[in-house]
Amino acid sequence: MTATTGTDINGVEYYFDETSGNPGGSDSGWQSSSSYTDSGLSESTQYCYRVQLRDQSAYQNTGSWSTTECATTQAGGGTWTKVDDRHASVTRYGSGWELWDGVGVAYQQTVSAAIGSGDYAIFSFNGTKARLYGYKYQYGSNANIYIDGSPDGSVSFYNASEQGDVLMYESDTLSSGPHELKVEWVGSGDVTPDAFGYFSN
């Protein structure tokens, strides 16, 4: 995993904190590198991490913790990585998007909502599979799904009661490398992606 690079006149250090407490997960300790690989993880187990920066002055001032990101290891090798709808790998197109915060049932309590024709989102990833997680509620609409520009079905964000972080779509196995998952608004309600995931070996 890699943190956003920090800058300070005195230099910076990074601390990756494993928060799930599951067997095999470890913190990094303070280190100069912005990347960290946690070895010795168990198969089919979720691990969650957040990162904090501090400067290397005599005072060692610390910043706030990042948001927590989780990934699940797979049996036989490979890992699912899950990212929030606000992650840099998710790009929204169209003029009808709303960004909702404080949604208690949602992943990281955030939801992106497409509310009009021409709205779509693209999740860019490097791996062999992709997932879409959704926020479903009474005003949810339908969305078309595309993988690398090719249609791959549709999903509904409607549900009579509020549900968050719902696994709505998983792609077939793709060739290893960069790909795009597109979620396109159709219908008359809201299309509300909550999170995305990708599998990499």
| pLDDT given at position 41 | 82
| pLDDT given at position 108 | 92
Residue 196 above 90 pLDDT? yes
Could you give the CA distance from residue 87 to residue 46 in angstroms, rounded to a whole number? 19
DSSP line for 24-39: T-----SBS-SB----
The CATH code that applies to domain 84-200 is 2.60.120.260
| pLDDT given at position 188 | 86
Mean pLDDT for the stretch of residues 57-64 = 96
86: left (phi over 0), alpha (psi -120 to 50) or beta: alpha
* Residues pairing with 180 in the sheet: 124
| pLDDT given at position 42 | 82
Summarised one tens digit per residue, pLDDT across range 4-53 is 889 999 999 999 999 999 988 999 999 999 889 887 788 789 999 999 99
Q: How confident is the model at residue 2 (pLDDT cuts 50, 70, 90)?
A: confident
- Going by their DSSP bridges, the two strands 97-101 and 90-93 should be labelled as unpaired
- Going by their DSSP bridges, the two strands 120-127 and 150-156 should be labelled as unpaired
116: left (phi over 0), alpha (psi -120 to 50) or beta: beta
Residue 77 above 70 pLDDT? no
Coil, strand, or helix at residue 109? helix
Summarised one tens digit per residue, pLDDT across range 78-102 is 788 999 999 999 999 999 999 999 9
| pLDDT given at position 76 | 64
Mean pLDDT for the stretch of residues 102-115 = 95
Check if the beta carbon of residue 125 is closer than 8 Å to that of residue 147. no
Check if the beta carbon of residue 165 is closer than 8 Å to that of residue 186. no
Summarised one tens digit per residue, pLDDT across range 117-145 is 889 999 999 999 999 999 999 999 999 99
Could you give the CA distance from residue 130 to residue 148 in angstroms, rounded to a whole number? 11
| Count of Cβ atoms closer than 10 Å to residue 40 Cβ | 8
Higher pLDDT, 16 or 1: 16
Domain limits, the chain: 12-76, 84-200
Question: Could you tell me the CA-to-CA distances from 30 to 50, 52, 54, 175 in Å, in that order?
Answer: 13, 9, 9, 37
Sheet with 69-73, side-by-side order of all strands? 12-18, 46-55, 69-73, 79-84, 193-200, 129-136, 163-170
